Amino acid sequence: MRQSQLGLEVFGPRVAGAKTTGNVQFDLSGGFPNTLNGSSFGLFRLRIANMRMDWDKTSIVAGQDNAFFSPLSPTSFASLAVPTFGYAGNLWGWIPQVRVEHRFDLSDGQNILLQGGILDNVTGEPPYSSFDRAPQAGERSSQPAYAFRVSWSRNIFGQPLRLGTGAYYSRQEWWLNRHVDGWAGMADWEIPLAARVSLSGEFYRGVAVGGLGGGIGRSVLFDGNPFDSATRIRPLDSVGGWSQLKFKATAKLEFNGAFGMDSPFAEDVRAFYASQSYVDPTLVQNRSALVNFIYRPRSNLLFSSEFRHLRTFEIDRDSHTAEQVNLMMGILF
């Protein structure tokens, strides 16, 4: 299988003393429109399209960008259309947003980064139509989502030691004036253990965060037809995270091992066992583990091989497993 990702960085003039840059990334994972001869009209998919204005210690970022409150992902070139361990403990999203960042320099090379902003209120629902832009549960609440992150960093063993924590909140309206509060608290870490060894990862605990990949992509469960006023709705609690151990054998060769898990609360799933949902409502846990090596003989060329083990659990049923072996070659330009 081939996966492609293209990017472009643009530098602009200074505005009010700020350095202005822009970044655009898109890929070939947009699929095909549901229309006549749609198989011939492959869609480019926008990932990032943002503008940054950077002052000495403050930045403003506007546009579609990564979920800044969950900034890390495991190192892998086997996952491009969705970040590694998406729906298995790694909260992610390419989300329209406006955010402000401010840096504080402390003694001994330490610094603190504060980030806060508003985002498009995504909930994980598929579009209702390929052609009509209908508002979804987050947009129907008439307010954006809100997020905040603070991180502390310093250098040890010639690498950054970074610890961060963040929070996310969204108000959702699931038809017929049924409101849900979605939220998540998260932590992230990058810890050098030695000159060539480091540990990184993220953890989250949240409710109704299917738009960020939590709850295995589900924000809520229904006990009947979602458009029926008698149908009850239940926000889905979930917890998850991932961690990775990296060993840089040389400047050109590294080895990675990682494990991730996303676990919706069984009591929520069991309460609405026969639920209608836009994702299989019986899923109660996703697990994923990988080992890989990445070799870069040149700065613009890489080779990688990866083994990945996947396991998904259903409520009161057997689990399902799969193994993947991936061979990759990448050309950077």
Q: What span, in angstroms and rounded, lies between the C-alpha atoms of 216 and 214?
A: 5
What pLDDT does 12 receive?
Answer: 61
Q: 3-state DSSP helix/strand/coil percent for the chain, to nearest 5? A: 5, 55, 35
Which pLDDT tens digits describe the chain residue by residue (333 residues)? 345 566 666 656 666 678 999 999 999 888 888 888 888 888 889 999 999 999 999 999 999 999 999 999 999 999 988 999 999 999 999 999 999 999 999 988 899 999 999 999 999 988 877 778 889 999 999 999 999 999 999 999 989 999 999 999 999 999 898 999 999 999 999 999 999 999 999 999 999 999 999 999 999 999 888 888 888 999 999 999 999 999 999 999 999 999 999 999 999 999 887 676 767 889 999 999 999 999 999 999 999 999 999 999 999 888 999 999 999 999 887
Query: What are the boundaries of each domain within the chain?
Result: 1-54, 57-287
Model pTM score? 0.92
Scanning the chain, the segments in alpha helix (DSSP H) are: 137-140, 266-271
CA distance 150 to 105: 14
